Structure 1
Amino acid sequence: MIEQNKDMTSDNETLTQPIPFIPSYFPKTLMQQKYRFFKVPKNLPTEWNKDDSLEHIKVLNNGLRIEYIGPGVNIWRDAAAIRANHPIPSEVGFYYFEVNIIDKGSRGNIGVGLTKKNVPLNQMPGWVPISYGYHGDDGLAFKKGQGSEYGPLYSAGDTIGCGINYYDRTIFFTKNGINLGIAFNNVSNKELYPVIGLISKGECVEANFGAMPFKFDITFYSKEILLWETSIGNI
């Protein structure tokens, strides 16, 4: 899913910044054009950032699997979150990642979503402003601390995907490859990070940022977005 790209050029212009990698669902020509305007090289998320989390979360060797090792007693006091190592540049237009639920722990208090840098990590995704989350224990989609009915519960063995469409400023989630529909409208157009929140003992999840095939058909989805955006002149 991830391809290394060096010295990519247009017909008559050489890129001034290297492209670290492009997930396979991004058309190379489009990404080449966008990266030309970046002032500094920008990376997409590839793993969890152990230095951008609370001590209640342990990052395992591959940088993709995390587990909750905190007390897990008080749902408000013991929450812990972790951000990915890089934000999603809004210039890419859209982005998607998936999380495999390895163990739901004692209560299944797992939240998957997106958040801005510097948002407190002692809160679940969506409990604070500029943070968005879909929670497994109740199926609610949280934004600014308010939960709305959204999707089914999820637990061990499920795969939850999260996608952001910067063209129309929406966030959607998937479960086991099925699109659950738009969860949030009018989302921030700033750079957001993939985020996971955990609360109860034994919870364990593993992310896929594109190194492995997704359960959701993101290639078809991305083509549909690009066709629509091209037709109205946004690209």
Structure 2
Amino acid sequence: MNSTANSDNGRRNENCDAGDGQDLILHFLDKVRLSRGDAMEESEGEESPTELNTINSAGGFLIVSPDKLSVKYTNTNLHGHDVGVVQANKPAPFKCLTYYFEIFVKDAGVKGQIAIGFTKESFKMRRQPGWEVNSCGYHGDDGYLYRGKGIGEAFGPTYTTGDTVGGGINYGSQEFFFTKNGALVGKIPKDIKGHLFPTVAVHSQNEEVSVNFGKTKFAFDVKGYEASERNKQQMAIDKISIPPNIGYA
């Protein structure tokens, strides 16, 4: 191959590499713009969960309160699939930095097999969140985190009567995070795509939880958490050298 051809190939490779770098930087800047709230106008029309969905639930094992914000296990747990599961009436919005909701454990019941997490709309409603693919759940009886299979992993403390537990999605870092009594328990990579529904499960007699979708003050400081995440992103931006020919509108 002659030197002219080598030179042309070199220029093409340089342009390709520069394009890839620009795409990566622009993608990162879009994420930052979203986290700063610049996309708030786009998210104004996006609906958020407000109550529990009484239609798509394991109705034979639970009772949802008239205000659709509490759920109680009323059956006898005889099998592993006798789970009382209920999703929110809407999926978590995603044109925002984070989404978050909480449950308050009114009664841990006989076994305390309560779970909080996120599932797809097609989730099997007689399984704990995290036991099936495209789902994750933080379980109260063992403190384990389940994601996509029936075997859990050590994650955080157990929770019981009187505890407030939260589940959230950090879209900036692409992570799920969970809390207990106002403190962050931990986070895991968000490896599930598409719309996800806040989900609660009860699995033994007399277990009862109430759900807070944001109508009342959360135990966890969501605003403080978001501010901390924005600071982390700003620090990451400050370390990036952006070519002068890239604009940011």
Of stretches 127-136 and 166-175 in structure 1, the one that deviates more from structure 2 is 166-175
Out of 32, 36, 39, the position equivalent to 2:40 is 32
Provide the residue aligned with 1:23 in structure 2. none
Once residues 68 and 186 of structure 1 are traced to their aligned partners in structure 2, the CA distance between those partners, rounded to angstroms, is: 29
Once residues 169 and 107 of structure 1 are traced to their aligned partners in structure 2, the CA distance between those partners, rounded to angstroms, is: 33
Provide the residue aligned with 1:70 in structure 2. 75
The 5 A counterparts of 1:111-122 are 111-122=115-126
In structure 2, list runs of 5 or more residues that go unmatched: 1-33, 238-247
Distance of aligned partners of 1:195 and 1:159 in 2 relative to their CA distance in 1, 3 Å threshold: same
Provide the residue aligned with 2:23 in structure 1. none
1:207, distance to aligned residue in structure 2 (A): 0.7
Provide the residue aligned with 1:167 in structure 2. 172
Q: Which has the higher helix share?
A: 2
1:34, distance to aligned residue in structure 2 (A): 2.7
SS of match in other structure, 2:95: helix
Task: Quote the sequence identity (%).
Answer: 32
The structure having more radius of gyration, on CA atoms, is 2
Provide the residue aligned with 1:196 in structure 2. 200
Of stretches 209-218 and 224-233 in structure 1, the one that deviates more from structure 2 is 224-233
Once residues 100 and 187 of structure 1 are traced to their aligned partners in structure 2, the CA distance between those partners, rounded to angstroms, is: 27
In the alignment, is the contact (CA less than 8 A) between 2:144 and 2:153 conserved in 1? yes
Provide the residue aligned with 2:132 in structure 1. 128
**TM-score normalised by length of structure 2:** 0.76
1:232, distance to aligned residue in structure 2 (A): 5.1
Distance of aligned partners of 1:62 and 1:153 in 2 relative to their CA distance in 1, 3 Å threshold: same
1:151, distance to aligned residue in structure 2 (A): 0.7
In the alignment, is the contact (CA less than 8 A) between 1:73 and 1:200 conserved in 2? no
Once residues 97 and 224 of structure 2 are traced to their aligned partners in structure 1, the CA distance between those partners, rounded to angstroms, is: 15
Once residues 138 and 223 of structure 1 are traced to their aligned partners in structure 2, the CA distance between those partners, rounded to angstroms, is: 31
Once residues 154 and 53 of structure 2 are traced to their aligned partners in structure 1, the CA distance between those partners, rounded to angstroms, is: 30
Q: Is 2:53 aligned against 1:49?
A: yes
- RMSD of aligned C-alpha atoms? 2.3
1:181, distance to aligned residue in structure 2 (A): 1.7
Q: Is 2:157 aligned against 1:157?
A: no
Provide the residue aligned with 1:79 in structure 2. 83
Q: Which has the higher strand share?
A: 1
Report how many residues are paired: 204
**TM-score normalised by length of structure 1:** 0.80
Out of 204, 225, 228, the position equivalent to 1:224 is 228
